[in-house]
Amino acid sequence: QQQVKQSPQSLIVQKGGISIINCAYENTAFDYFPWYQQFPGKGPALLIAIRPDVSEKKEGRFTISFNKSAKQFSLHIMDSQPGDSATYFCAAMSYNFNKFYFGSGTKLNVKP
Amino acid sequence: EPEVTQTPSHQVTQMGQEVILRCVPISNHLYFYWYRQILGQKVEFLVSFYNNEISEKSEIFDDQFSVERPDGSNFTLKIRSTKLEDSAMYFCASVRGSTSYEQYFGPGTRLTVT
């Protein structure tokens, strides 16, 4: 059973546009929801994360929106730049640190 | 800034050989993980480790795999008898724990089994 479902699989956005990636989770015990950015040949890098006690978190051009009742969260990249072109993974973890459940990834291509 | 390091960056081995992938997690971190990623695909959880014990392992992590923290700094993944399908990027990650949830990944080891 896939605990975290991510969409879309790929996304093409024009420079300056907004990129939106969505994730849905199953387990209500999850209480930490990070997003990772991965460039080819590199390890995933933590981009931004949210706990379920808030509905939104913003860091620069990156925003997480969190809907606890719908069990969904999304990453918004404002003013998308070609340098944002990468694969993005959402994830979820419960309080015991035993396992991070990853989404399947979204390959973002920002066209100049 | 502290970072997770991994060695080697690339390992080529023949099918049936044993390999050991090494990781040095961030020094004050308590939770350690191994993941693998086949080229262009999703990040797959292999195992988590805390307090010198495996916390959780996936169905991929069968008897051919083992992990060890032989000293206070290294965290190793051993594959006893490699198969062609073990070819992938292997990432180590660590989390400090307590109120700190941030997971930091190493740069990965590319394992090629021929």
C-beta atoms of B104 and A46 within 8 A = yes
Please report the sign of the dihedral spanned by the C-alpha atoms of residue A64, residue B104, residue B46, residue B32.
Answer: negative
Identify the band that residue B40 occupies on the pLDDT scale cut at 50, 70 and 90: confident
Which pLDDT belongs to residue A13? 98
Q: Mean pLDDT for chain A? A: 95
List the single residue in A44, A93, A105 with the smallest CB-CB distance to B101: A93
**Residue pointed to by tokens 């080229």:** B39
CA distance B2 to chain A (A): 14
Give me the residues paired with residue A49 across strands. A34
Which pLDDT belongs to residue A57? 97
CA distance linking residue A17 with residue B44, whole number of Å: 31
Is residue B109 pLDDT above 80, yes or no? yes
List the single residue in A43, A99, A105 with the smallest CB-CB distance to B42: A105
List the single residue in A43, A98, A104 with the smallest CB-CB distance to B42: A104
Which pLDDT belongs to residue B2? 83
Cα dihedral value B11, B19, B41, B114, nearest 10: 70
Identify the band that residue A95 occupies on the pLDDT scale cut at 50, 70 and 90: confident
Which pLDDT belongs to residue A85? 98
B84 SS3 class: helix
Count of domains forming chain A: 1
The answer to whether B49 contacts chain A (CB < 8 Å) is no
Which pLDDT belongs to residue B71? 87
DSSP string, A55-99: SEEEETTEEEEEETTTTEEEEEESS--GGG-EEEEEEEEETT-S-
C-beta atoms of B101 and A44 within 8 A = no
CA distance B94 to chain A (A): 10
CATH number of the domain residue B21 falls in:
2.60.40.10
C-beta atoms of A42 and B107 within 8 A = yes
Which pLDDT belongs to residue A39? 96
Which pLDDT belongs to residue A4? 96
How would you classify residue A99: left for phi > 0, otherwise alpha for psi between -120 and 50, otherwise beta?
beta
Which pLDDT belongs to residue A67? 96
Segment B6-19, tens digit of pLDDT? 999 999 999 999 99
Count of domains forming chain B: 1
Which pLDDT belongs to residue A19? 98
Q: How confident is the model over B79-99, as a mean pLDDT?
A: 95
Identify the band that residue A20 occupies on the pLDDT scale cut at 50, 70 and 90: very high
Q: How confident is the model over B85-89, as a mean pLDDT?
A: 96
Is residue B1 pLDDT above 90, yes or no? no
Q: What percent of chain B has pLDDT over 70?
A: 100
Which pLDDT belongs to residue A103? 96
Are residues A42 and B107 in contact, defined by beta-carbon separation less than 8 angstroms? yes
Segment A42-81, tens digit of pLDDT? 999 999 999 999 999 999 999 999 999 999 999 999 999 9
Give me the domain span that covers residue A75. 4-111
CA distance A66 to chain B (A): 17
Q: Count other C-beta atoms under 10 Å from residue A112's C-beta.
A: 8
Are residues B111 and B20 in contact, defined by beta-carbon separation less than 8 angstroms? no
Give me the domain span that covers residue B70. 5-113
CATH number of the domain residue A65 falls in:
2.60.40.10
Q: Report the residue of B3, B43, B50, B89 to disrupt the A interface, i.e. the one with the largest count of A CBs within 10 Å.
A: B43
